Amino acid sequence: MTPRTDLADSVESMQQLATVWRAMVLDRDAEADVRDLPGIAVRWADCRFAFWNCLTLTEVGADAALTRRRLAEAADIMRAKRHPGFLWVFEDLLGTGARAGLTEAAERAGLAYAFPGTGMAGDLLPLPEPAHPDLTFVRVSTDEHLRAYADLNSRAYGFPLADGRDGLAGSTLWKRGVHAWLGLREEIPVTCAATVEADGRLFVVLVATDPRWERRGYGEAVTRKALYEGARATGLTRATLHATAAGAPVYPRIGFAPNSPLRFYGLR
């Protein structure tokens, strides 16, 4: 087998985002803005849950001039929407000059740097069945479970509770098509993670832990559970994810390796 290259992993990471977010956004709104434009994938539900309002740059090796143009185009798309969201930029997909000038180019386009992330992937499955002495795992299957899952994400990422619920409430996909799990401590949901099948891989999505219960290994345990159950249901062995700075130290312990650094931008 030909060894995977760093660039191949970065391309995979970007393509996984575009594939998974298509399903998530259309689940939220069948009339959502889902387009593949030259150099930009639009995945915009225009709902209050900002993570479902997403653009990403898709070209490989774009030079500084092309990147400036794409950033300006992305900002124009974002300005036309009702609700805010994020432009995801996979740094390793940019040419050397574009990476060096990214901060200035984003500012000129009217974009504000929001936070960093990291694309990760691994041929890590199957995993042993996970357990944690504090937790009971429950698969998301009811509207009550979905509200708990949404509320954990809102608390973890600093969103109003109503915004998180706008992203998940009433979803059939999340109750049937996504391997979404809650970790309960004394019957109270404190952590959550999910996996979804995407182009022959499992994609880890919306991992969150209530800030009051961080640093106890809960996020790692529930992520292992979502991967274990997703792999058992699908037979897949490769997994991908996009980690925030807070989550990035956890995933290598499971078997993920970082590939492309990510930058998230909102409108200034």
87 and 149, same domain (yes or no)? no
CATH number at residue 193: 3.40.630.30
Per-residue pLDDT reduced to its tens digit, 172-231: 999 999 999 999 999 999 999 999 999 999 999 999 999 999 999 999 999 999 999 999
- Helix or strand or coil: residue 127? coil
97 shares a domain with 143 = no
The mean pLDDT of 232-259, rounded to a whole number, is 95
141 shares its domain with 44: no
DSSP one-letter code for 186: T
Write the pLDDT tens digit of every residue in 140-168: 999 999 999 999 999 999 999 999 999 99
Q: Inform me whether the pLDDT recorded for 245 exceeds 80.
A: yes
Cβ neighbours of residue 232 under 8 Å, at least 6 residues apart? 126
Is 73 a domain residue? yes
Q: In whole numbers, what is the pLDDT of the chain averaged over residues?
A: 96
171 three-class SS: coil
Say if residue 60 is in the same domain as residue 155.
Answer: no
Domain boundary among 89, 119, 149: 119
Helix (H, G, I), strand (E, B) or coil at 148: helix
- In this structure, the answer to whether residues 160 and 64 fall within a common structural domain is no
19 with 90, same domain: the answer is: yes
- pLDDT score recorded for residue 246: 86
Backbone angles phi, psi at 29, to 5 degrees: -155, 115
Q: What is the pLDDT of residues 1-34, one digit of tens each?
A: 333 457 999 999 999 999 999 999 999 999 999 9
In a domain, 86, yes or no: yes
How many distinct structural domains can be found in the chain? 2
Chain-centre distance for alpha carbon 84: 16
Segments forming the whole domain that contains residue 222? 136-236
Distance, CA of 15 to CA of 21 (rounded, Å): 10
Do 145 and 113 lie in one domain? The reply is no
Q: What is the pLDDT of residue 5?
A: 52
Long-range contacts of 151-159, Cβ-Cβ distance < 8 Å, separation of 24 or more: 151/189, 152/182, 152/189, 152/190, 152/191, 152/192, 152/208, 152/209, 152/210, 153/192, 153/206, 153/208, 155/208, 155/210, 155/211, 156/208, 156/209, 156/210, 156/211, 157/51, 157/208, 159/49, 159/50
